[in-house]
Chain A
Amino acid sequence: MQPRTECRFARALCAIWAAHSYKMNSMLPFAMDESAMSSPKINPVSRPTLPSQVVKEDEPALVAAAQAGQIEAFETLVERYERKIFRLTLNITQNREDAEDAMQEAFLKAFEHLSEFQGNSRFYTWLVRIAVNQALMKLRKRRPNQISLDAEVDTGEDTIPREVEDWGPSPEDRYEQTELSGILSEVIAELEPPFRIVFQLRDIEELSTEETAEALGLSVPAVKSRLLRARLKLRQKLTRYFRRSENR
């Protein structure tokens, strides 16, 4: 297992691309909401503290112990990340059985290749790369047709929503956690895989643009253009649920 094999990732993505037309749907027209917020000042995106950001004091020691053969140390690392890795493989494969297999294989491969982990990146990032590879292989098996991943993503006029509709009060306050999770899963599942995967790695797992590009065998500009598309499409799709006029 070589986590940095960009070509393999690229081939896997090429495979899943087959089922999807690269011609993007233009944004749906929305009615402009005149009650849009009055303040122009936008604060930076507020993110929680994720394991990917936290260099837990014990992590290098845990990895070193696991590399030295201490099973308990590796088990601790598995327990720390198993839920996130399962979410990752589930979002990529959109199939519970494949997601479980990909997660299992990712942890097994991580263990087998632990000696190759040099500590040049975060352990979590390294693990994410392995899990993405496993999940993409599952997708490729289900969608074996080949098509170029490098088809152009138009970031021109049709990227811009022609009309927009504002959202109402905070979705977290309007929906129960379970209901909200259901909406988020349903909406992200509607994205074509390359957009979904780039969004997943950049905005959910919080890999850097460069790390995402490396993990997927894409160029940095390709990651950026897909991320912009993914964010705008998700925003548009979520508006169905969160718009101000919705009586919640």
Chain B
Amino acid sequence: MNCKTLVIELEHYLDEELDASVRASIEEHLLKCKKCRVIVNTTKKTIEIYCNAEPAPLPEETRSRLHDALAKRLRRAHP
């Protein structure tokens, strides 16, 4: 395992899609390579920070227009 292979396997590693032997070899490399540890940790944090972020509130006027349009359409379908 070297830095290049690790980056190529990075998403499989973060998504836990690797078999035990490849995972072990990545973790062995991480023990020795500080640069790869930073890459792996900050990439993992990147994913977490985005998927943990709450969607911004839907503006009330946008929501209102959506529900008006739906109400109109739904009434037409089911008068």
Chain A residues near B (Cβ < 8 Å): 32-34, 36-37, 40-48, 50, 69, 71, 74-75, 78, 82-84, 86-87, 96, 100, 103-104, 107-108, 111-112, 155, 157, 159-161, 163-167, 171-172, 177, 180-181, 184-185, 188, 199, 203-204, 206, 224, 227-228, 231-232, 234-235, 238-239, 242
Contacts and interface: CB of A to CB of B under 8 A. Distances in A.
A14 to B, nearest CB: 24
Contacts of B73: 108, 111-112
Interface string B53-75: 11111100011011101100110
B69 to A, nearest CB: 5
Contacts, number: 157
Contact of A45 (B14, B38, B55): B14
Given A42-B13, A171-B49, 20 more contacts: A42-B14, A42-B27, A45-B51, A69-B78, A75-B70, A78-B67, A82-B63, A83-B56, A104-B65, A108-B69, A161-B35, A181-B54, A184-B53, A224-B11, A228-B7, A228-B10, A228-B11, A232-B10, A235-B39, A235-B45
Nearest to B17: A209
Interface of B: 3-4, 7-8, 10-11, 13-16, 27, 30-31, 34-35, 37-58, 62-63, 65-67, 69-70, 73-74, 77-78
